[in-house]
Amino acid sequence: MNPELWDIRIVLNISYNGLPYYLKSCFLYLSIFPEDYEISRKRLVRRWTAEGYSRGLWDKSAEDIADSYFFELLDRSMMLPTQKADYSSKGADSCKVHDIMREIAISNSKEENLVLRLDGSYRSHSQVTVRHLVITNDSREADEGELESTVDMSRVRSLTVFGYWRPFFISDKMKFLRVLDSEGADGVYDHHIKQIGKLIHLKYLSLRGCEKIAFLPDSLGNLRQLETLDIRQTGIIRLPKTIINLRKLNYLRAGERNSAYALTSNKLCSLTLVWSLFRAILVDKVSNVDENMNTVYAACTTFWCIALPSIAMDLNSLGVVAPRGLRRLSALHTLGVVHIAHDSSSVLRDIKKLTQLRKLRVTGIDEENSQKFFSTLSALINLESLSVSSEGALGLEGCLDADDMFSDLRSLKLYGSLVELPNWIQQLRNLVKLKLDGTLLKDCKDAIQVLGKLPNLAILYLASLWFEDGELHFLEESFPTLMVLDLDFGARKDVTFDKGAVQKLELLLLSSCGLKFLPSIKEVRLKGLDYRFNDKEDADRWKEDFLAQLSQNPKKPFLNVRGTF
């Protein structure tokens, strides 16, 4: 090793040795993730909590304490924040670990038999006892016997899989497994998780991004210790009835299916899928029989279990249908995305009883169920974050009419045509983060004036607004606390700032604007210049003008250009 790097490593080792005991385990846990991997704060914090790395106090939950551990490690430079922190009111949504720090974490976790990483071959002269097993599998060929001869499965408390999944990764011997995380793993099918109910000590289960999964088994109801269930970006459109048995579940995220799902949710694409299925069975000659059967199984599952039910129930790609009795999950503090258009009376009555909810995301709101929805919200006294998506061509128009709205909301996201802002939005005095996407506001000038008076708004995202005169104007003394502004219009629009507007703005993401009167701006990101201009010369000319504006700004903000010619 380079002598200078060796000296740096010695200094960083001293930093590790100086960590308090409760942070050492959290730091070594980072060695689970691959090199240069962007680690989600929420994912990490919830895993730490499931592992028992934090304990709740009388005024703070275990998750809140684990969250403080995350930021303490950041403050000590044991890990680095990433750019995903732009939209977090807490300051960081994810992190990465520097190569040298990661080497320190890996070496120390090996010494303590804490983490074992298996890459490719599993061969070992003796069976290893570890708490956390990580499998990075880039090949579909893996040997079950070699894996079990390498690792004492009875001692494993967490299993994390990156790459290609094999069904024998879950062993009957894993009787005390607490964390099962296969986020983004390929090749996970319904039948691979059929016996998951045997893992009765499981506290954290993530199948996020496992697109071929269409069902959760009824045995899920046996996981009485489960606290976190993340099934986003899977093919699951309906939660099993047995989910209401999970009385300790406090975090449930579902829906948010990808564009591939959206393609199967119309009749033409479904017919195309039938033809592909026919070819897979009768025409194509695939040398690997198992691979061919998986292809057939995936096609059948996608068509019969995802596409057809979605068409029949007229579901969008965002939400899932919840069973009756959801109210029994009284520990829930995070829930979404729930489709409330189907059996809306029942599902809204259930949600109304979930008084510990802090974060709620729903889709399927319409004029018929909107009043019941607002009645439900009035009972959720702890709600801090709300996300609402519309159904149909009318969008949110006429769906957000209410006389009053509780003022404790800190985050609000509205997806769909609004035409005009709801009257109650000006009552949200504690609102920190606001996202309006596809709202098509007619009177943008009045809307900006209303939003500019919100006293605590720090993050604002505006997309697909409607402009009368092609200009968005920020008035003097408006948005006094705004720090992040993201303007995504899909076409070139002029944005101007009066002197004294958005005085605390640090990050601006947009297509065009004037920067002269932004005294606190630190960074400007330009997005999608390739589709906002007809040719490269126009884009270059505009970019030169923009750089001239930057040079006149006293802060000399950094320019980050994305989507250029």
List, as one string, the DSSP characters of 271-294: HHHHHHHHIIIII---S-HHHHHH
Residue with tokens 């974490």: 105
* 213 within domain boundaries: no
Q: Which stretches of 2-87 are DSSP H helices?
A: 3-17, 21-29, 41-51, 62-75
**CA dist 261 to 212, 264, 487, Å?**
10, 5, 28
What is the C-alpha to C-alpha distance for residues 257 and 208, in angstroms, rounded to an integer?
10
Residue spans of beta strands (DSSP E) within 25-145:
39-40, 80-81, 94-96, 115-119, 132-137
- Domain carrying residue 508: 469-564
Residue 466's pLDDT is what?
63
φ, ψ dihedrals at 536, nearest 5°: -65, -35
* 74 within domain boundaries: yes
Q: Could you tell me the two tokens for 442? A: 């007619």
Residue with tokens 């995350």: 70
* 173 within domain boundaries: no
Residue 140's pLDDT is what?
64
- Regarding beta strands 158-163 and 459-463, do their DSSP bridges make them parallel or antiparallel, or are they unpaired? unpaired
Q: What pTM did the predictor assign?
A: 0.87
* 548 within domain boundaries: yes
* 192 within domain boundaries: no
Buried-exposed string 283-307: b where 16+ CB fall within 10 A, e elsewhere: eeeeeeeeeeeebeebbebbbebbb
Please give the single-letter amino acid code of residue 10.
I
Residue 258's pLDDT is what?
65
* 340 within domain boundaries: no
Q: Could you tell me the two tokens for 288? A: 């690997």
**Residue where a domain stops, chosen among 288, 313, 338:** 313
Helical axes 99-111 vs 3-17, angle rounded to 10°:
60
Three-class SS of residue 160? strand
Residue 46 makes CB contacts below 8 A (sequence gap 6+) with 63, 66, 204, 227, 228, 251
Residue 34's pLDDT is what?
95
How many domains, the chain?
3
Residue 60 makes CB contacts below 8 A (sequence gap 6+) with none
Please give the single-letter amino acid code of residue 12.
L
Positive/negative CA dihedral, 236, 242, 244, 250: negative
* 369 within domain boundaries: no
pLDDT in 10s for each residue of the chain, 565 residues: 667 777 788 888 889 999 999 999 999 999 999 999 999 999 999 999 999 999 988 889 999 999 999 999 999 999 999 865 556 666 788 999 999 999 999 999 999 999 999 886 555 556 789 999 999 987 666 677 788 888 999 999 999 999 999 989 999 999 999 999 999 999 999 999 998 999 999 999 999 999 999 999 999 999 999 999 999 999 999 999 999 999 999 999 999 876 444 444 444 444 554 545 555 555 444 444 454 455 555 555 554 455 545 444 555 568 999 999 999 999 999 998 999 988 889 999 999 999 999 999 999 998 889 999 999 999 999 999 999 998 666 678 888 888 777 678 999 999 988 888 898 999 999 999 999 988 877 778 888 999 999 999 999 998 876 655 567 889 999 999 999 998 887 555 678 888 889 999 888 887 556 566 677 888 887 765 555 566 677 777 777 777 777 777 777 787 777 644 3
Residue 552's pLDDT is what?
77
Residue 131, CA atoms < 13 Å, CB-side half-sphere: 14
Q: How far is CA 14 from the centre of its chain?
A: 35
Please give the single-letter amino acid code of residue 233.
Q
Please give the single-letter amino acid code of residue 443.
D
Prior bond to 115 cis, omega within 30? no
Other CB atoms within a 10 A radius of the CB of residue 500 amount to 14
**Residue where a domain stops, chosen among 75, 95, 112:** 112
**CA dist 368 to 109, 237, 529, Å?**
56, 22, 41
**Residue where a domain stops, chosen among 313, 336, 369:** 313
* 45 within domain boundaries: yes
**Residue 98 maps to which CATH number?**
1.10.10.10
